[in-house]
Structure 1
Amino acid sequence: MSTTGKASLILIGRHGAGKTAVVESIMGTSLKTTSKESDDNIYSVTSSETSLRISETPGFFAANPDTDTCKLKLVESIKTSLPGPDAFGLVIKIGRFTAEEREMIGIVEEVFGEGVFRFTIVIFTKLDELTYDDVTLDEFLQDSTPELQRFLTACGGRYIGFDNTGDWETRAKYGERLVSMLKDLQTQNSNMVYTVAMLDEATGCQQKKEEEEKRKQEEEYRREKEEMKKGVREEIRREFDAKLIRETTKETPPAIPTDDVPSLLGPEIEKKELESSPLLDISTSSTYAKTPNSDEEEPPTKGQGETGSKCFII
């Protein structure tokens, strides 16, 4: 629980968003600056009714420090704000809602958990740019991206604009509005602060989330590896089957169709038939061919001399 009349605010934003200017505007109120506690940009300001502690964290996406250092500083800001901050002031410069700002919001949620937004006030700086175009902050946000609108809804619609270019009297008014909004937030949360226990819970949830993500990645890797092995085995099997078919076709001559046998073996069959014919036997008989006009007589057959002529012996 936050002590009555005391409040703690942690400012978070990308490099150059205007966190320091917001601190200066708050100091320009009726609050009296008492000290700068350390080199870690922690300020204490007091009045007869309020004691406010402001912690300015390093800017995101600066050349130095890097994102990991910013995460560590966020964690340290909780542990050095015991019993815990009443609010987080997320500082965003008016203009295009960039990928870096979306990433920053994601990191804040990653470190502190989803519950951080119930303690968050969105602070838009460079309000003078809208005033120059005769556009109000509400009109600007109505035409903003759905992502930014969803983020503001998650924060309960708590936002405020800062014009850091005016005189100190004007800037002090913006500081007073922020302090008033911070008090209202304390009331809404029944003076509950963001505690180290909440941070530990968020850290545990994040670790479980990372472990689950790692497990899914490992399962996906094993599945892809198994699919790859299966594909290799199928390819080897196809190549083996194709090789087996080629070798089988090469060793076994093609079958001759039955219809083609007579035409292929016909001449051989005719030769054998002629050689085995009784009409042609050159070794045992003579054949005399006689033409119709030939004067030669055929030799008498057996028995003709005995019946057709006589033989005289002198």
Structure 2
Amino acid sequence: MQPPKPLTIVLLGQTGCGKSATGNTILKRQHFESHASSVPVTTECKMAEETVYERRIRVIDTPDFFNEDLKNQEEQIKKCKELAQPGPDVYLLVMQLGRFTEGEREVLPHLKREFGEAVTLKTVILFTGREKLKNKTLPEYISGSDEELQELIKTCQSRCCAFNNNNEKCHHQVKQLLEIISDMLENSPTAKHHNYGKKHKEVKECSIL
């Protein structure tokens, strides 16, 4: 029997949202350069792969595809698609808690144009800065947030979670993300053609009615 193909995750989001740090958190290794900077740190697509919780995971870090200052935009989008073959399995749309920019308000039309109309069927929203929630839950934060953000989350079928990328010991957040992804894949139209492992219980952190 052939070993199962890696779970391929493509990180998408604006400059400074924490894509690279999120990739490092998922893989539990510092594969991607991540630090505070006034200019974009990630300027081209990069891929890294590790075994996490007994599953081979491939993460593709990307620059801000929708930044007008990205000189080789089409080239990098093409490279992302090539690296993700034959996937990707999931697009991880990374956003900062407490920030919903004009660019993020327009992200869906951009994603659909570049990755196809069905992109939202394979998208999970991940908020960075989970520590900012303090005593509040993520659903509580979202219920009091911008209506456009709530609509974006609904469009992605309320698949979302939050990471604290500054806490290396916070392992349950990666487990939760992988369970959300597994549930998404098991319920996808193509699930019957793939073996995504055993069923998981409902793990959505977001619940928006």
Instruction: Give the TM-score band, short-chain normalised.
Output: 0.7 to 0.9
Contact 2:45 2:76 in 1 (8 A): no
Displacement of 1:50 in angstroms is: 1.2
Partner of 2:184: 185
Partner of 1:50: 55
Letter of the aligned partner of 1:101 in structure 2? E
In terms of fraction of residues, the more strand-rich structure is 2
Letter of the aligned partner of 2:21 in structure 1? A
**Aligned counterparts, 1:94-243, within 5 A:** 94-131=97-134, 134-166=135-167, 168-170=168-170, 172-189=171-188, 190-191=190-191
- Runs (5+) with no aligned partner, structure 2: 33-43, 195-209
Displacement of 1:107 in angstroms is: 1.1
| Structure 1 pair 138–182 and aligned structure 2 pair: CA distance change class (3 A) | same
| Structure 1 pair 176–149 and aligned structure 2 pair: CA distance change class (3 A) | same
Contact 1:71 1:111 in 2 (8 A): no
Structure 1 moving runs of 4+ over 6 Å: none
1:169 is paired with a residue whose SS is coil
Separation in structure 1 between the aligned mates of residue 76 and residue 107 of structure 2, nearest angstrom = 14
Contact 1:41 1:57 in 2 (8 A): yes
Q: How many residues are matched?
A: 178
Partner of 1:18: 18
Identity %: 27
Letter of the aligned partner of 2:117 in structure 1? E
Letter of the aligned partner of 1:65 in structure 2? L
Displacement of 1:47 in angstroms is: 4.7
Separation in structure 1 between the aligned mates of residue 75 and residue 144 of structure 2, nearest angstrom = 35
Separation in structure 1 between the aligned mates of residue 17 and residue 51 of structure 2, nearest angstrom = 25
1:83 is paired with a residue whose SS is coil
In terms of fraction of residues, the more helix-rich structure is 1
Q: What TM-score results when the alignment is normalised by the length of structure 1?
A: 0.51
Partner of 2:205: none
Separation in structure 1 between the aligned mates of residue 139 and residue 66 of structure 2, nearest angstrom = 28
Separation in structure 2 between the aligned mates of residue 71 and residue 110 of structure 1, nearest angstrom = 12
Q: What TM-score results when the alignment is normalised by the length of structure 2?
A: 0.75
Displacement of 1:102 in angstroms is: 1.4
1:109-158: CA deviation from partner (whole Å, max 9, x where unpaired)? 22123210000000001111111xx3221111111122111111111110
| Structure 1 pair 71–89 and aligned structure 2 pair: CA distance change class (3 A) | farther
2:161 is paired with a residue whose SS is strand
Displacement of 1:5 in angstroms is: 5.9
Separation in structure 1 between the aligned mates of residue 105 and residue 74 of structure 2, nearest angstrom = 15
Contact 2:27 2:52 in 1 (8 A): no
Separation in structure 1 between the aligned mates of residue 26 and residue 180 of structure 2, nearest angstrom = 12
Displacement of 1:73 in angstroms is: 2.2
| Structure 1 pair 59–43 and aligned structure 2 pair: CA distance change class (3 A) | same
Q: Larger Cα Rg: Structure 1 or Structure 2? A: 1
2:8 is paired with a residue whose SS is strand
Aligned mate of 1:73, from 63, 72, 76: 76
- Runs (5+) with no aligned partner, structure 1: 194-314
Displacement of 1:83 in angstroms is: 1.2
| Structure 1 pair 154–51 and aligned structure 2 pair: CA distance change class (3 A) | same
Contact 2:66 2:110 in 1 (8 A): no
Displacement of 1:52 in angstroms is: 0.9
| Structure 1 pair 110–176 and aligned structure 2 pair: CA distance change class (3 A) | same
Separation in structure 2 between the aligned mates of residue 107 and residue 10 of structure 1, nearest angstrom = 15
RMSD: 2.5
| Structure 1 pair 71–149 and aligned structure 2 pair: CA distance change class (3 A) | farther
